[in-house]
Amino acid sequence: MDINLLVLNVGNSRLAMGTFIAGELRQVKRILHDQQADWKGAIEEAWKQVAGLEGAAIVAASVNPVLNEALEHAVDQAAGRDVVWVGKDIELPIAVLTDEPEKTGVDRVLNVAAAYEQLETACIVVDAGTAITVDVCNDAGEFLGGAIAPGAAMMLEALHEKTAQLPRVELAVPTEPYGKTTREAILTGVYHGIRGMVKELAENYATALGQWPDIIATGGDAQQLFAGWELIHAVSPDLTLYGIALAYTNHHIKHGA
């Protein structure tokens, strides 16, 4: 079957949308939640690319349920369609072996599913966004669990808000091994703190699995934090969108509808 989809991902900070035509991701757009008024127009424009194609559908996942109704309304206005929700209308594409699968973030599972679909072996996904998640699956593609930590922007903002004199700093890659100014010291701590956390967790996961898993990075800060680092197999900014499309495809292969 041809996969012709408008895929929507409601994150903590923004809505990501992508169009899949014959299974190929063609166009991606991201809209901050404080620009919610732009949703309808962006969805309408994206839907035009797939609306006339065989089996066209609109599929979504969300970690921000307070916005789900608003998204459904925007989709109805823009496309006159219902939203197919991953985790509600269609099942997740891989087994989730956490203690409370229903409380495990759907984006975390979809990221790992998309990475596993490409690698076909145990792997780790680092999602560096509002929060940082570091999740792992085994050779069977089963989601085992992971770690959740504050994202870079959250760390930087907390240092400014919770101290008397530390300035507000935007994420950047440090150019020296140690900071010679307060700003440089903050960047050095956050940047290398995140990378050090990822390395430590990867080593723990590898010990538990008995092998070293490839690491895929995604999320808004992934390029700045991880590009060119030998520990990272690849940076894939649209991994969650691929995971949503995978869930839809697997559901239709399994159920034939």
Which residues are tagged catalytic?
Answer: 107
Nearest in space to 243 (alpha carbons), one of 133, 122, 110: 110
The closest alpha carbon to 198, from 250, 245, 143, 152, belongs to 152
